[in-house]
Amino acid sequence: MKQLGSLLLAEIIKEHRHSFHSKMIYFSLLVWPVINFVTAYYSFAPFQMGADSPLARFISYEQLPLFLLTGYLGYIFYWCLVQSSWQMSFERQAGTMEMIFISPVNRLAFLYGRSLSSLIEGVWLFFCFVLLALFFVDGIQLSGWWAPPLAFLILLVSAIVWGGFLCVLFLFSRDASFLYTVLDEPMLIFSGVRLPPMAFPVWAKVISFCFPLTYALQLIRELLMEGATLQAMLPSMGLLAAVLLVLVTATVVLLKLAEKHMKKTGNMVMY
């Protein structure tokens, strides 16, 4: 257990040093979400707004900024992890993948360590978000003092599980970056980051239920916008837990398959 902990920590530190070598990135991690959020806000401008807008069937006009803000917060959490797993291909290019798999490192510790490295940016992002939401945006309605920490925990855990799952997918091929497009942008559309999933037709709802972000966002909005009680949130919590469990199982199975595949092809660097 102690060894597992130190492996995890080593991977976190490595990955953090690797992708956060310059201070610029902290700046960009706040600037990008802000620009994307403002862009999303203005992309509603061509539509009819106000009290009689069809949007009111799903969210009230006053809550739109907070709706988008929570959406983008969740999306950025997940997006950091999609990025970090996408950088798995650099591990191949740099030739370090072989070393990792030859060493007696626990594979799962390696995967989740990579994901956890986004913890630091996650904390700082979340802190800025809460400040922003409290001081500038109307419509915030907390379930209690414990709502923000719980929201953070939900985002963190679900994002790490998602990140570990993606890392495994990137183990299979150098040419996996298409997964980045396949998994990143649909998340933005279908998970309810910018548009409420309730508005979607059935087939789109089905897709949106495949992303854990959909459930995480649902919970976060219940916590921060609707002031829901813990009891009222039990069903959504159960759903999220079930989805995460499926993802962890899939990660473990795929990891074994990936290693087998790499042993068979005999080359972890080229293919």
Partner 1 sequence: MFHVAKATFIRNTRVMIRAYPWSFVIGHIFSGVYTVLFAFFAYHYVFAGQLDENFAHLAGSSDYLSYAILGGAFYAFAVSTLMNVSRSLITELREGTLEAVLLTPSLRRGYFLGNVAQQLMRTLFEFSVIVLVGALFGLTLSQTNVWSAVLVWILSTGAFFCQALVLGSLMLWFRDTYITQNTLFAVMAFVSGVTFPIPYLPEWVQPLGLIMPLAPALDAFRQCVIQGAPLHAVSPQLFHMTALSLVYLVMGVWGIRRMEKRVMESIFG
168 binds partner 1 (CB under 8 A): no
Name which position in 49, 123, 153, 232 contacts partner 1 (CB under 8 A): 49
Helices 212-224 and 230-265: crossing angle in degrees, nearest 10, is 150
| Residue of 135, 136, 181, 231 interacting with partner 1 (CB under 8 A) | 181
Least distance to partner 1 from the beta carbon of 249, Å? 26
Tokens, residue 57: 């069937």
For partner 1, the closer CB: 15 or 147: 15
* Candidate list 120, 182, 230, 246; residue touching partner 1; CB under 8 A: 182
Part of the chain binding partner 1 (CB under 8 A), chosen from 102-110, 137-145, 171-179, 238-246: 171-179
206 belongs to the binding site for partner 1 (CB under 8 A): no
CA distance 69 to 60: 14
- Burial (CB < 10 A; 0-12, 13-18, 19+), residue 209, is middle
Asked if residue 60 binds partner 1 (CB under 8 A), the reply is no
- 115-133 in b/e form (b: 16+ CB < 10 A) is bbbbeebbeebbeebbebb
- Residues 120 and 202: their CA atoms lie apart, in Å, by 38
Residues that bind partner 1 (CB under 8 A): 22, 24-25, 28, 31-32, 35-36, 38-39, 42-49, 53-55, 58, 93, 173-178, 180-182, 185-186, 188-189, 194-196, 199-201, 204
